[in-house]
Amino acid sequence: MIRVTAFKDRTVAVFGLGASGLATVRALEAGGARVAAWDDSVAGRAAAEEAGVPLVDLASADWSLFAALVLAPGVPLTHPEPHWTVEKAKAAGIEVIGDVELFFRERAATCPHAPVVAITGTNGKSTTTALIAHILGSFGNDVQLGGNIGRAVLTLEAPAPDRIHVLELSSFQIDLAPGAAPTVAVLLNVTPDHIDRHGTVEHYAEVKSRLVANAGATAVIGVDDDWCRRIADTLEVRGRPKVRRISVRAAVADGIYAQDAKLYENGRERADLDGIATLRGAHNWQNAAAAVAAVEALPERFHAGGDLQAALRSFPGLAHRLEVVDKIGPVDFINDSKATNADSTEKALASFAGDIYWILGGRPKAGGIATLAAYFPRIARAYLIGEATDAFAATLGESVPFERCGTLGAAVRRAADDALAANRPGSVVLLSPACASYDQFRNFEERGDAFRHLVAERVAGRASA
């Protein structure tokens, strides 16, 4: 755990008592602060109380006693409207920050040159974060992985000169961390997302841009969308930080270009991704290019002599992100439950040439799946589930044969039957929903785990037969 000393002998309000909120309370108390913690949820308060967290009803508290409000990232800061605690903090004239801000303040106070790599973007940030940590770890470094992936940032080991923190940061976390200044910052891409929390795509992009603008040494930026290209150009004109561009569309003179499963820099091949199942598809080539650029932007002692090709080939990948669950005959069963919007699902569909038995649906997001029409010829059949069924059926129309399955269980059974009956090499049963999971599951992880279980049942049944 990281002791946060920035508020020693002062009182801090903490709202939102999930995993990161509880970690924040413990870190502040360990650093000598007094904490007034609260949560709107009765269950959340009960769990916190059981854990020994000091609860104070912030709705009736005297806010003049507080030095700051530490807000959980899932709580609205600005849109659709500020949470009531944010309004009270503004009225009291105190700052509203998050646990990531506390991390960077403690780093600045105790070990300002401790290396930190921070990664953001609409899509691909979890894979890129995990890959960076994997490469650095395989090179023998002390690596701490957390933030929006794995462990809450304040549960990690404290910053140190030879310890690298690799942090995935969401736009919500960046919005609450004005002092975030990583050694190397990565911005993969920007596409419209979380507009309900940021109001406009312009504001969403601006929040993302803060991370790379504040990088201490290098900003690694994917320049295949207009938003990020403009951000890279702006930083280059400003002259700091150093900008390294990443692309899967065109060669770049100041970064890494990915094409046909190979990474190139200045016309020289740097790495071969062919045959690495966990880095399949152009979107993962971008992730790999960003990871290599980020690792090599760190001081040389952290990467000199490392076997980059071996590190890439040993990358285990992440659950729910084009995860190969199993294989039955010629059919791969792919869990891409993390694809909660059309842009993410596009990456999955682009990764396979054809014979895709596609399971999709759930709670739809704005725009639906109309943007995926170019990939419809690759779909052998679609299996619709959840609230999006009628809307997606209308979009697929006569272009793709489909079935209304309702539930994931029914969809997996029907897709497996059809794919195995066709018996075509290279075919896949692909769960890539292009939707949120909340109509039938608590989160995308639960949905992906259910898919895994259904596939395991099918494998077991086939074995017993």
Cβ-contact 20, 45 below 8 angstroms? no
Which residue in 338, 337, 315 sits closest to 455, CA to CA? 337
Which residue in 375, 391, 377, 366 sits closest to 432, CA to CA? 375
Beta carbons within 10 angstroms of residue 393's beta carbon: 16
Q: Quote the CA–CA distance of 308 and 436 in Å, as a whole number.
A: 35
- Per the document, the length of the chain is 465
Task: For the chain, give every domain's residue range.
Answer: 11-97, 100-313, 323-464
Annotated catalytic residue within 83, 88, 125, 347? 125
Cα radius of gyration rounded to whole Å, the chain:
23
Annotated catalytic residue within 79, 90, 194, 242? 194
Cβ-contact 197, 83 below 8 angstroms? no
125 is catalytic: yes
Tens of each residue's pLDDT in the chain, 465 residues: 999 999 999 999 999 999 999 999 999 999 999 999 999 999 999 999 999 999 999 999 999 999 999 999 989 998 889 999 999 999 999 999 999 999 999 999 999 999 999 999 988 899 999 999 999 999 999 999 999 998 999 999 999 999 999 999 999 999 999 999 999 999 999 986 666 666 788 989 999 999 999 999 999 999 999 999 999 999 999 999 999 999 999 999 899 999 999 999 999 999 999 989 899 889 999 999 999 999 999 999 999 999 999 999 999 999 999 999 999 999 999 999 999 989 889 999 999 999 999 999 999 988 899 999 999 999 999 999 999 999 999 999 999 999 999 999 999 999 999 999 999 999 999 999 999 999 999 999 999 999 999 999 999 987 776
Q: Quote the CA–CA distance of 376 and 400 in Å, as a whole number.
A: 6
| Domain 11-97 part of CATH 3.30.70.20 | no
148 is catalytic: yes
Q: What is the largest CA-CA distance in the chain?
A: 70
At 216 the three-state DSSP class reads: coil
Strand pairing report for 331-335 and 428-431: parallel
Tokens 């400003």 sit on residue: 238
Cβ-contact 274, 97 below 8 angstroms? no
423 is catalytic: no
Residue 423, both tokens: 């018996």
Cβ-contact 157, 163 below 8 angstroms? yes
Annotated catalytic residue within 123, 141, 148, 335? 148
- Measured at the CA of 153, the angle between CA 432 and CA 276, to 5 degrees, comes to 40
Beta carbons within 10 angstroms of residue 275's beta carbon: 9
Q: Quote the CA–CA distance of 28 and 12 in Å, as a whole number.
A: 8
| Domain 100-313 part of CATH 3.40.1190.10 | yes
Per CATH, the architecture of 323-464 is what? Alpha-Beta Complex (3.90)
